[in-house]
């Protein structure tokens, strides 16, 4: 249990180093062609550039494709135009994030659903933690996103390289408040395996009990 608490603390401190990084001002200033059109949501220009032969999977200096840029900017129509034009919806940028996980972290349920409709796989392994979009959303308590990912077939019991599932992350990295309680409820009702422990053998229920998260305890019993 102590080891798990130490890992949780270390993860919270180091998360910023491995978090998604939206395009910076200097990145945006350097953009031309599809990257700029995606950032600004210019659908007609995206269609024209692709028709003229521009590669919809070209990368910026951080490995972001125009689809990643459209996701960071929450331009749904631009993302659709890119996918229609041949963009790889399962491409990973340099920090190993895909469009779906970008949308999940941004707490953008509509973009999450759209990404899956356009072919972004909900079981794709993403991030330096070898997680999934569902784990990322559960970590943050984005319960509407969690619900949509579950409905889209996201794997409930994927174990990342910290040996945590989405259920464990919702408890260990949450604050015990409404959003994380609702996240746990959705996962449990969907059939997430409550018995999968962390690397120390501590279950989600035991983590909730140790933190005094009474409502989570009731859901996990």
CATH code of 96-221, in short, is: 1.25.40.20
Percent of the chain having pLDDT more than 70?
92
Distance of alpha carbon 126 from alpha carbon 166, whole angstroms: 13
pLDDT greater than 80 at residue 206: yes
> Using one digit for the tens of pLDDT, what is the confidence trace for 85-128?
999 999 999 999 999 999 999 999 999 999 999 999 999 999 99
pLDDT greater than 70 at residue 48: yes
- 3-class SS of residue 155: coil
Distance of alpha carbon 169 from alpha carbon 186, whole angstroms: 14
> Using one digit for the tens of pLDDT, what is the confidence trace for 147-163?
999 999 999 999 999 99
Pick the closest to residue 75 from 115, 26, 27 (CA basis): 115
- For the chain, give every residue range classified as CATH 1.25.40.20: 22-94, 96-221
H or E segment at 7? helix 2-18
**Domain 22-94 grouped into CATH 1.10.260.40:** no
- 1 pLDDT band, cuts 50/70/90, is low
Residue 20: per-residue pLDDT? 84
Residue 14: per-residue pLDDT? 39
């Amino acid at each position: 249990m102590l080891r798990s608490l130490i890992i949780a603390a270390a993860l919270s401190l180091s998360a910023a180093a491995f978090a998604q990084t939206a395009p910076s001002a200097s990145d945006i200033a350097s953009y031309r062609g599809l990257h700029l059109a995606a950032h600004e949501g210019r659908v007609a220009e995206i269609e024209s550039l692709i028709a003229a032969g521009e590669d919809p999977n070209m990368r910026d200096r951080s490995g972001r494709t125009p689809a990643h840029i459209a996701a960071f900017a929450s331009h749904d129509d631009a993302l659709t135009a890119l996918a229609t034009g041949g963009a790889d919806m399962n491409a990973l940028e340099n920090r190993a994030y895909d469009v779906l996980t970008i949308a999940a972290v941004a707490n953008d349920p509509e973009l999450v659903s759209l990404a899956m409709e356009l072919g972004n796989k909900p079981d794709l392994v993403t991030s330096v933690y070898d997680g999934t979009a569902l784990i990322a959303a559960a970590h943050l308590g984005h319960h509407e996103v969690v619900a949509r990912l579950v409905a889209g077939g996201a794997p409930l019991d994927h174990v990342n390289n910290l040996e945590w599932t989405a259920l464990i992350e919702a408890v260990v990295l949450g604050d015990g408040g409404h959003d994380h309680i609702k996240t746990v409820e959705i996962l449990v009702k969907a059939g997430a395996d409550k018995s999968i422990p962390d690397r120390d053998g501590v279950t989600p229920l035991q983590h909730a009990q140790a933190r005094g998260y009474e409502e989570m305890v009731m859901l996990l019993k």
